[in-house]
Amino acid sequence: MNRRDDYRRELRAYLTGLGLAVVLSVLAFGAVGLAEGVPGAISRSTVVWTIGLTAAVQVVVHFRYFLHIDLTRSKRDDLQLILFSALIVLLMVAGTLWILGDLRDRMMAVL
Amino acid sequence: MSGADLWHLLFGKLSADALPFYSAIAATAAGVVVCGALGAALLITWLGRWRYLWREWFTSLDHKKIGIMYVVLSLVMLARAVVEACMMRMQQAVAFDSAGFLPPDHFAQLFTTHGTIMIFFMAMPFLTGLINFVMPLQIGARDVSFPMMNSVSLGLTTAGAGLMMVSLVLGKFSTGGWSGYPPYTELGFNPGVGPDYWIWAVTLSSLGSTLTGINFAVTIYKRRAPGMTLFRMPLFCWTALCASILMIFAMPPLTVATALLACDRYLGMHFFTNSLGGNMMNFANLFWLFGHPEVYILILPPFGVWSEVIANFSAKYLYGYRSLVYATMAIAVLSFTVWVHHFFTMGQSADVNAAFGIATMLIGIPTGVKIYDWMLTLFRGRVRFTVPMLYALAFLLLFPLGGLTGILLANPAVDYQVHNTLFLVAHFHNMLIPGLLFGMLAGYHYWFPKAFGFRLDEVWGRIAFALWVAGFVLAFMPLYALGLMAMPRRTDAFFEAAYLPYTLVAAFGALLILAALVSLCVQVWVSVRRRRETEVFAGDPWNGRTLEWATSSPPPDYNFAVLPQVEGRDAFWLMKQDGRAYRTPDRYEDIEVPRNSAMGPVVGMAGAAAGFALVWHIGWLAIIGVLTMGGALIARSFVRHTTRTIAADEVRRIEARWRDAVAASPGVTRDDETTPANRGHAAMEVA
Ligand code: HEM
Ligand SMILES: [Cu+2]
């Protein structure tokens, strides 16, 4: 394989990534815009879910196309570290929300 | 502009009131610091060693020297923290029905500085120093991945330690405990400079630790010698890896917590106040998001030391290597799921407490696995009772006791009874002294010959060991009883006669610990004087199994002339078995090592200046400090010659000298390991 092919493959990957990123962003913003612009068109929870899901896919797209993380063996260390980071951040954020939410509820109950 | 305004502009809140003349004890402490610093400076000047120190040590990017400097820093801070601990124990021994010799405010400063120093400026630098020195050698690397960042981390940590020392002379330290909970540390309750000292000292050191964590993790992932797969790494490297990953994820919550507290105190914000939307409970949450993983950062590297020491002094492969690795990983992950056990009593519902209580108890399982693995490594080994091994045995007996009381505390219902009593203080010292401190001391004894080329005196080592163990038992076992009798922690005086016998015993134990520390100093003195008898330049005094022993003591700047080819676990042991050790390579090559850099000391000093300026609200100095740090980083990126080359001929000369020494040293058997016959060349014995 020559350098030109390499270059074209890289370029295609970046462009695919860019395209997907734009589409996902438009979907999220579009959902909000629709809910704002046309009252009653879609429910609030649909908007929230749309944003959440597109954000999650967006993360994957960035890792896959921009940071070149995939399932090949040579990328395994990186992938493991990313998954581990995700796990720890999830534990911290979810735990914090749970604990402080619980505390708030209990204080409100007293008031 | 009036004179007062000018003064304020130049010196901020500093004034003559900051000097510690309000109390004889505080003035003495300040005097010791000032005289100690001046004395050290004068001594260096008199010996004409400034240049040498600057060139060979402070600006060095060699991981071995940085490691040694970390350990020196931690020993100095250990001395201060132990003296403070003794003062607290003396106070509680005499303060029955009386005020004792320490006013409450001073007592509160003591437990705050003692705790802060022990964790951030004794334990962290000690383990960072050991990892720095040992880990690259064990994985067969020539340095860490980011040598300059390593030096910057040391600079930041030293800056924090410097702030702690300055706080003895100028102003009063925080009285808020090592955890610094608001609202007590907020401006409303604590308008003085104490909490600010705490904030900036801790922030500097936590930044240093974050960088260190990144550095170590990358080094272990990227710099292993050919053939050194992850599962061939010595266990110390595994624990270093897991501890580094914990540092990367656990230090940021602390930095966030102290930064937000600083925003409250300096900028009038309300993150942790009780009004205007603040929530002080989030500080506890953030602090322990860091705090619990932190205690595993503290305990994992000692676990690594135990693994090395026990395997080495039993002359056996570590029993259950894989189970030890998986246990280490399990502990690392679980340590992020338990932080609520530090504030079970804060008021969250029983569901939350139950979940975190159960998670806490789970950690006992992998830790138990480790204890059994170590015991089985001893089983039928060729066990030698050297000083590190003695510490290991004391650890195996004492540490599970602390673990057991930890399991008790993990039960929220029990914790409601004994939280905030001395039972807790006994528990965590029972983990930290036999676990962490003994581990660090074992590592210090074990690797000292590698670092300096001669062994430490065995007799004084044993004396110090006996004093540490006896002192620990006497100082802390009574605290379990006191805790069950409901004596609160952080108390400066009490009125309950039943406590007195126990506090007296504990005070005696603390004195033994002080004596242990003195013995360690004597040991260094004696060992240095007798260094000719215990010289081990050949490099392998303990019949080592891992790669750090495959080079001279002290190792050359480049560690390994040729990167070792690793064929299996316990790589050096295998080399010796197959006769591949000490083999002269076919040819030598030029070796690049990092060139010295003043970045570390410059960033450190600028950081210390900025921290000091922030504490005292000296605007111009704070700006200069921060700008210097940033400017130095930018300036450094223009430096193009960051390495220096050691020519192949030079390498050949250095290596020949070492090989000659190995050939000239008689192979020593394990029976003669601690005698002058040990010249660092181990005879292979049939086990
Ligand atoms: C060497 C012998 C030691 C002695 C005699 C000692 C003694 C003490 C005493 C008397 C207290 C105050 C207890 C109270 O609240 O009433 C204390 C607190 C504490 N110690 Fe130690 N200690 C020692 C070693 C260590 C070590 C090695 C560490 C950690 C690596 C450590 C960490 C702490 C911490 C974190 C606190 C809590 C400070 C606070 O309440 O905020 N200590 N120690
Ligand atoms: Cu904990």
Query: Which of B223, B340, B352 is the best substitution to test chain A (most A C-beta atoms within 10 A)?
Result: B352
Q: Are residues A16 and A54 in the same domain?
A: yes
Task: List beta partners, residue B644.
Answer: B593
Q: Which residue is closest in CA terms to ligand 1's atom 15? A: B490
pLDDT band at B15 (very low <50, low <70, confident <90, very high): confident
Which amino acid is present at B199? Answer: I
B-chain CB neighbours of A88 within 8 Å are: 249, 333, 336
CA distance B147 to chain A (A): 22
What pLDDT, on a 0 to 100 scale, did the predictor assign at position A74? 80
Buried b (16+ CB within 10 A) or exposed e, B619-644: eebbebbbebbeebeeebeeeeeeee
**How many Cβ atoms sit within 10 Å of the Cβ of residue B414?**
16
Q: How far apart are CA B592 and CA B590, in angstroms?
A: 7
Q: Which of B585, B573, B596, B579 is nearest to B642 (CA)?
A: B596
Q: Do B245 and A84 touch (CB under 8 A)?
A: yes
Q: Which residue of B has its CA nearest to A107?
A: B347
**B359 in contact with A, Cβ within 8 Å:** no
Report which protein residue has its CA nearest ligand 1's atom 4: B85
C-beta of B142 in contact with ligand 1 (< 6 A): no
Per-residue model confidence as pLDDT tens digits over B566-601: 989 999 999 999 888 888 888 899 999 999 999 999
Distance B403 CA to ligand 1 centre (A): 17
Number of domains in chain A: 2
Rounded Cα distance, B82 and B584, in Å: 48
B633 secondary structure, DSSP code: H
* Whether residue A55 sits in one domain with residue A75: no
Q: How far is the CA of B358 from the centre of ligand 2 (A)?
A: 13
Residue B33's SS3 state is: helix
Tell me what pLDDT residue B686 has.
55
CA distance B621 to B38: 23
**Is the per-residue pLDDT at B8 higher than 60?**
yes
Point out the ligand 1 atom lying closest to the alpha carbon of residue B437. 27
- Residue B542, ligand 1, Cβ within 6 A: no
Q: Which sign does the torsion angle of CA B467, B470, B473, B478 carry?
A: negative
Task: Tell me how close the Cα of A86 comes to any Cα of chain B, in angstroms.
Answer: 11
Residue B178 beta carbon below 6 angstroms from any ligand 1 atom: yes
Alpha-carbon Rg for chain B, nearest whole angstrom, is 25
Of A77, A99, A107, the CB nearest to B340: A99
Q: Is B78 in the pocket of ligand 1 (CB under 6 A)?
A: no
* Contacts A–B by Cβ distance under 8 A: 42
Say whether both A47 and A82 belong to one domain: no
Cβ(B177) to ligand 1 under 6 A? yes
Tell me, what's the pLDDT at B586? 86
| Residues of chain A found within 8 Å of residue B285, distances taken between Cβ atoms | 96, 99-100
Q: Is A55 in the same domain as A12?
A: yes
Return the pLDDT at B49: 92
Confirm or reject: Cβ of B87 under 6 Å from ligand 1.
no
User: For residue B362, which residues of chain A lie inside 8 Å, CB to CB?
Assistant: none
- Hey, are the CB atoms on B352 and A99 less than 8 Å from each other? yes
Instruction: List the domain boundaries for chain B.
Output: 49-597+642-672, 604-641
Residues with CB under 5 A from ligand 2 (ion): B 292
Across B214-218, average pLDDT? 96
For residue A95, the chain B residue with the least C-alpha distance is B337
Q: In chain B, what percentage of residues exceed pLDDT 70?
A: 100
Is A77 found in the same domain as A109? yes
Residues B162-204 pLDDT 10s: 999 999 999 999 999 999 999 999 998 999 999 999 999 999 9
Looking at the fold, whether A46 and A93 belong to one and the same domain comes out as: no
**Nearby residues of B235 by Cβ (< 8 Å), 6 or more positions away:** B303, B304, B307, B308, B311, B318, B321, B324, B325, B328
Average pLDDT, integer, range B361-373: 95
* Portion of chain A with pLDDT greater than 70, in percent: 96
Say yes or no for a CB contact (<8 Å) between B348 and A102: yes
pLDDT at A109: 62
Question: Looking at residues B400-405, what average pLDDT do you find?
Answer: 95
**Would you state the pLDDT for residue A10?**
87
**Rounded CA separation B296/B242 (Å):** 9
Question: In this structure, are A44 and A84 located in the same domain?
Answer: no
Least distant ligand from the CA of B294 = 2
Residues of chain B with Cβ-Cβ distance to A84 below 8 Å are 245
pLDDT < 70 stretches in chain A? 1, 109-111
SS (H, E, C) B287-304: HHHHHHHHHHHHHHHHHH
Q: Kindly report the protein residue whose alpha carbon is nearest to atom 6 of ligand 1.
A: B85
Asked if the model's pLDDT at residue B563 lies above 80, the reply is yes
Segment B422-439 shows an average pLDDT of: 97
Q: Considering only CB atoms, which chain B residues are within 8 Å of A102? A: 348-349, 351-352
Report CB contact under 8 Å: A100, B281.
Answer: yes
Q: B501-520: per-residue pLDDT in tens?
A: 999 999 999 999 999 999 99
For residues A41 and A91, state if they share a domain.
Answer: no
Domain range for A74 is 70-111
Of the candidates B221, B249, B279, the beta carbon closest to that of A77 is on B221
Q: What pLDDT digit, counting tens, does each position of B313-339 carry?
A: 999 999 999 999 999 999 999 999 999
Q: Do B289 and A96 touch (CB under 8 A)?
A: yes
- Give the C-alpha separation, B262 to B276, whole Å: 17
What pLDDT digit, counting tens, does each position of B534-546 carry? 999 999 999 999 9
Residue B306 Cα, gap to closest chain A Cα (Å): 27
Q: So what's the ipTM on this one?
A: 0.88
Q: Verify that A38 and A87 share a domain, yes or no.
A: no
Q: Is the pLDDT of residue B369 over 60?
A: yes
Ligand 2 centroid from CA B407, angstroms = 11
Which residues of A have a CB under 8 Å from any CB of B? 77, 84-85, 87-88, 91-92, 95-96, 98-100, 102-103, 106-107
User: What spacing in Å lies between the alpha carbon of A78 and ligand 2's midpoint?
Assistant: 29
Name the B residues in 326-345 with CB < 8 Å from any A CB.
Answer: 333, 336-337, 339-340
> Which chain B residues have a beta carbon less than 8 Å from that of A107?
347
SS3 of residue B545 by DSSP: coil
A-proximal residues of B, 253-282, CB under 8 Å? 253, 279, 281-282
CATH architecture of structural domain B49-597+642-672: Up-down Bundle (1.20)
Our measurement of the distance from residue B650's CA atom to the centroid of its chain's CA atoms, rounded to an integer in Å, reads 36
Write down the pLDDT at residue B76: 96
Phi and psi at residue B421, to the nearest 5°: -110, 175
Phi, psi (deg, nearest 5) at residue A68:
55, 40
CB contact under 8 A, A98 and B352: yes
> Residues near B608 by Cβ (< 8 Å), separated by ≥ 6?
B158, B159, B160, B162, B163, B204, B625
In this prediction, residue A72 carries a pLDDT of: 82
B50-54, B454-458, B679-683: the lowest-pLDDT one: B679-683
DSSP string, B377-444: HHTTS-----HHHHHHHHHHHHHHHHHHHHHHHTSHHHHHHHTTBHHHHHHHHHHIIIIIIHHHHHHH
B427 lines ligand 1 (CB under 6 A): no
Same domain, residue pair A64 and A76: no
**Are A8 and A32 in the same domain?**
yes
The identity of residue B361, as a single letter, is: M
Q: Among B674, B580, B312, B673, which residue's Cα sits nearest to residue B682? A: B673
> How distant, in Å, are the alpha carbons of B151, B445, B558 from that of B590?
24, 33, 10
